[in-house]
């Protein structure tokens, strides 16, 4: 129930913030040489000559009909722009999060099982580095090393090299669409373009996941039921994975949801570094042009995704641990 007031608050705050930001939409689109009369005409066409409450009521009325407005920079509807660009951002975020999980969760488990060993120290170093390095710096560093110095990675110029054509758009995910089309060359090219930005997000997100996995596993391993399982003669791997890790998963899942929301924000910087055509770069370009509708649409889309993510996490809690299920 709290999600609806949260979305209402996001609508109000995003509307007000776009109006107080520096810059004039009419001046940007009319040009620096425009006369005051021309500027007034542009403001009238855009509805910016109306009082702020009237602009807000018109915006809310459009929202109730699923209309987020039109982008003045692209000339398309904001809904269409977000729909076409969201798969690129989602693919990048999900692959980055998957890489982080594949590294952070085993590392956190091993660090807890072998506390004080070199693996434990490695986990701490990786976690500290992931928190300390800004995401844009990590991206630029990876580009410098793997593209400029070693030449192992293609130029960071989007989702696909200019020599390849995108497969028929079905899901919007290049990897999935290329597999459906059985175009293995495009699949390889898309993976080569995706690996560095995804790795950048993975480095950013693996730190909190590894730390919370280690801390949760240490708590679970010191529990009475784990000591009982060990005393029963069960194999160490069975005790660790079946008893300890399953009970340590809830904090990890909670952290995973928080990290995913952080990645949605970090995507903006990563997409600009790698020229990734997602909704993050779309919002930045609109913000520079003082184009209100795309910025408001971007913020609202992120809020809706965050609400859906939290709902999915709550449902996942009941799957992992039946004790947290709510009986009605």
The three-state secondary structure class of 77 is strand
For residue 77, which phi and psi values (nearest 5 degrees)?
Answer: -70, 150
Domain edge (last residue) among 64, 79, 110:
64
* 236 plus 295 within the same structural domain: yes
Of 228, 327, 280, nearest to 89 by C-alpha is 280
* 9 plus 142 within the same structural domain: no
Q: What is the pLDDT of residue 168?
A: 86
Taking every pair of C-alpha atoms in the chain, what is the biggest distance, in angstroms? 86
Q: What is the pLDDT of residue 326?
A: 52
Q: What is the pLDDT of residue 328?
A: 43
* 270 plus 317 within the same structural domain: yes
Residue spans of the chain under pLDDT 70: 1-3, 21-34, 46, 317-318, 320-328
Distance CA 205, CA 257 (A): 11
Q: What is the pLDDT of residue 111?
A: 86
Show the tokens assigned to 216.
């949760």
* Predicted TM-score (pTM) of this structure: 0.81
* 59 plus 123 within the same structural domain: no
Q: What is the pLDDT of residue 327?
A: 47
The whole domain housing 56 covers 3-64
* 41 plus 100 within the same structural domain: no
Buried b (16+ CB within 10 A) or exposed e, 100-137: bbebbbebbbbbbbeeeeebbeebeebbeebeebebbe
Q: What is the pLDDT of residue 302?
A: 82
Name the domain count of the chain: 2
* 28 plus 147 within the same structural domain: no
Q: What is the pLDDT of residue 140?
A: 86
- Half-sphere exposure in the Cβ direction for 258 (13 Å, CA): 11
* 119 plus 27 within the same structural domain: no
Domain edge (last residue) among 19, 49, 64:
64
Of 3, 4, 8, 17, nearest to 283 by C-alpha is 17
Q: What is the pLDDT of residue 77?
A: 86
Q: Does residue 77 sit within a domain?
A: no
* 201 plus 288 within the same structural domain: yes
């Amino acid at each position: 129930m709290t999600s609806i007031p949260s979305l209402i608050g996001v609508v109000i705050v995003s509307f007000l913030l776009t109006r107080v930001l520096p810059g004039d939409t009419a001046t940007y689109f009319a040009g620096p040489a425009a006369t005051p009369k021309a500027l007034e005409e542009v403001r009238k066409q855009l509805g910016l000559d109306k009082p702020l409450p009237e602009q807000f009521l018109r915006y809310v009325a459009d929202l109730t009909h699923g209309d987020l407005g039109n982008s003045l920079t692209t000339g398309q509807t904001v809904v269409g722009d977000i729909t076409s660009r969201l798969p690129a951002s989602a693919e990048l975020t999900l692959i980055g999060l998957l890489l982080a999980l594949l590294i952070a969760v085993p590392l956190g488990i091993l660090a807890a099982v072998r506390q004080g060993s070199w693996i434990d120290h490695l986990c701490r170093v990786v976690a500290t580095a992931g928190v300390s390095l800004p995401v844009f710096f990590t991206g630029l560093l990876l580009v410098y090393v793997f593209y400029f110095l070693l030449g192992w990675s293609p130029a960071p110029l989007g989702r696909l090299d200019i020599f390849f054509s995108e497969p028929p758009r079905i899901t919007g995910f290049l990897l999935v669409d290329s597999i459906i089309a059985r175009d293995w060359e495009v699949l390889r090219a898309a993976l080569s373009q995706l690996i560095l930005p995804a790795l950048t997000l993975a480095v950013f997100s693996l730190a909190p996941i590894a730390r919370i996995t280690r801390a949760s596993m240490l708590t679970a391993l010191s529990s009475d039921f784990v000591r009982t399982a060990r005393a029963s003669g069960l194999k160490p791997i069975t005790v660790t994975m079946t008893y300890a890790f399953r009970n340590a998963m809830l904090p990890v899942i909670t952290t995973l949801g928080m990290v995913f929301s952080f990645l949605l924000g970090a995507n903006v910087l990563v997409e600009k570094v790698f020229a990734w055509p997602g909704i993050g770069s779309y919002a930045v370009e609109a913000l520079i042009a003082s184009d209100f509708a795309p910025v408001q649409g971007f913020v609202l889309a992120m809020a809706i995704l965050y609400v859906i993510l939290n709902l999915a996490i709550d449902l996942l809690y009941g799957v992992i641990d039946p004790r947290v299920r709510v009986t009605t």
